[in-house]
Structure 1
Amino acid sequence: MTSQSLRLATRGSPLAMRQTELTLEWLREHLPETEFSVHEMVTTGDKQKQWSLEQRGGEGLFVKELEEALRSGQADVAVHSAKDLPAVQPDDLEIAGYLPRAEVNDVLVVREDIATPCFIATSSPRRRAQLKALYPCAVWSEIRGNVETRLKKVANGKVDATILAAAGLRRLGHFEWPGLAFRPFSPAQVIPAAGQGAIALQVRKGEGEALRAVLDEETGYAVETEKAVLAGMGGGCHTSIGVYCYNRNVSVYYEPIGTRHYQMRGNGDARERVVAEIVKDLGLSEDSE
């Protein structure tokens, strides 16, 4: 990597490409002397559309090939949806930082003629676990495909509704669709996935200094806190865990227990202390008995 030329690796999905466009806009504004190029890739998660992410585990399926591009020198920066990243980084890579975070909440997308959906599709155990309380009589199924594909499945009547991230809908300009209603949940109603709404820039270990200086510190603090909580709980991106950090408050959804709220106090080791407090409070540590 040099300060004058950076190669960005990204998935080729419409949302991933849009996030890369936003990344380029931000970096060109803040690093005007640098030239950028884009290396579009297909990940295992993109190839295996028939796989059940819940059964196989979704962690790493959408990031492995991008990380290999960093290791091989094909790319200098990997552009990720932060929620797709494992809670703990590989020893040879690091997160340089994040763009300013977009909306973090989830949205119920339902056909306009349906008041209460009976058949809801989502591949997220976290979303399903939390929404079962709101729709206790609904039948649930998995769904795959990009945002547009999922919207079409609802509009065509294959399912009554699905749940999507507000940030992805907004970035793609899909907050309106013929025949569909969009009903946002607040982050208090449905705790988001750790890192939801944030775009993460990953680099080789020790090469993130120049980028870190121009990325969003507030988003970094929040997302890194969420990922630390997720790691402490032993959860991946396809578990029934939601974590949201905002204004030094942390909300956690954990399926056996439900939703709990924590407040960070003091400075310095506040993140480490609140992670330990959460893990102990949820009965996940050896000394919690």
Structure 2
Amino acid sequence: MSKSAHSTTLKTLNIATRKSPLAMWQAEHIKSRLQSLYPELEVNLVTMVTQGDKILDTPLAKIGGKGLFVKELEQALYDGRADIAVHSLKDVPMQLPEGLILGAYCKRETPTDAFVSNNYSTLDELPEGAVVGTASLRRQCQIKAYRPDLQIKSLRGNVQTRLGKLDADEYDAIILASSGLIRSELSERIKQEISIEVSLPAVGQGALAIECRADDKEVLSLLEPLNDSDARIRLKAERALNRHLEGGCQVPIAAYAILEAGEDEAQEEMLWLRGRVGTEDGQTLLKADKRIVLSGNQADREAQAEQLGIDVATQLLSRGADGILAAIYNAKQDS
């Protein structure tokens, strides 16, 4: 038998995944990577339909947010039916259930929002009053701040469903994650990658994360080669910001961190985190950012990244983010 560069005593590994085409691509991608690392390991997919997939006629913000896409997968981890679950990180709630952990943060795909239209090439080209589809309050808030004349209409469903509604002329344009279109081999539908100056990405957008049981040391060891150290640092900063704001996945919070290398080897690497919180109508859009120099080992750098997230969140709170978020949560409870 061939000997892999990495070894594991596990014989089989079960991956929990949603049945949507994009989720299946993500699970197959991780399966392929694991099988290339561990050729003797049998990897199986455990597919399921989540509440978030079933309820398509109501905005996510009103039915519990994107956590609805992961609860059934997490139950499979608790039950032992699955060893890992593969998620789009932006769908993963900021607080994980007891006993579960994100065992790997994978290399990040393009994090931008994509402008998709059959008649217009850019967001700027849309005529006054054009109808734009999105399921995201974050996108709605920032698009309305940039183009208050546009009409935002709720758009739910998987990537193919949303494109179908655009093609049926229900919308003049729709906004999707660039990464989802790229992974679905639909990148030709992207007319424009929207500048992050206009639409700052969601926390974790473009990244895949792998959830597992916190006490499953064998699985954690097996996942270690899938970790991308740069992505982990950036994503920990973004998630710490959202966590400190006590924001869910389905509120108008944006955060994006980038690593800036020094001009020469003697210069320290810097981490730059930008955050935004806005009202749904886009009339208020709070912005904050901070850069820090990273130092020490990987664990030290991750801790510094998380503190940076807290610092930028604190800036946003001092500018009124708590009032904006409280109003949104109260509106959800009343609806």
Normalised TM-score (structure 2): 0.79
Match of 2:42 among 28, 35, 40: 35
Q: Any conservation in 2 of the 1:88–1:227 contact (CA below 8 Å)?
A: no
Q: For residue 175 of structure 1, report the CA deviation from its aligned partner.
A: 2.0
Q: For residue 79 of structure 1, report the CA deviation from its aligned partner.
A: 0.8
Q: For residue 2 of structure 1, report the CA deviation from its aligned partner.
A: 5.9
- CA distance in structure 2 between the aligned counterparts of 1:88 and 1:78, rounded to whole angstroms: 16
276-285 or 114-123: bigger deviation: 276-285
Partner of 1:158: 170
Partner of 1:103: 110
Report the secondary structure of 1:127's partner residue: helix
Structure 2: 5+ residue stretches without partners: 1-7, 260-270, 279-283, 323-335
- Larger Cα Rg: Structure 1 or Structure 2? 2
- Would you identify which runs of 4 or more consecutive aligned residues in structure 1 move more than 6 Å? none
Partner of 1:194: 203
Q: For residue 95 of structure 1, report the CA deviation from its aligned partner.
A: 0.5
Q: For residue 257 of structure 1, report the CA deviation from its aligned partner.
A: 4.2
Match of 2:312 among 251, 273, 278: 278
Report the secondary structure of 1:102's partner residue: coil
Partner of 1:185: 194
Are 2:249 and 1:249 equivalent residues in the alignment? Answer: no
Are 2:88 and 1:88 equivalent residues in the alignment? Answer: no
Q: Any conservation in 2 of the 1:30–1:214 contact (CA below 8 Å)?
A: no
1-10 or 52-61: bigger deviation: 1-10
Q: Any conservation in 1 of the 2:106–2:228 contact (CA below 8 Å)?
A: yes
Q: Any conservation in 2 of the 1:122–1:141 contact (CA below 8 Å)?
A: yes
Structure 1: 5+ residue stretches without partners: none
Q: Any conservation in 1 of the 2:288–2:316 contact (CA below 8 Å)?
A: no
Match of 1:215 among 227, 235, 247: 227
Per-residue CA deviations over 1:202-253 (Å, capped at 9, x if unaligned) read 0011222321244222222221221111101111110000111110111111
- CA distance in structure 2 between the aligned counterparts of 1:278 and 1:217, rounded to whole angstroms: 22
Q: Which has the higher contact order (CA 8 A, sep 6+)?
A: 1
3-12 or 187-196: bigger deviation: 187-196
Gap change, CA 1:49 and 1:7, over 3 Å in 2: same
Once the two structures are aligned, what percentage of the paired residues are identical?
A: 34
Report the secondary structure of 2:28's partner residue: helix
Q: For residue 168 of structure 1, report the CA deviation from its aligned partner.
A: 0.4
- CA distance in structure 1 between the aligned counterparts of 2:152 and 2:195, rounded to whole angstroms: 21
Are 2:160 and 1:132 equivalent residues in the alignment? Answer: no
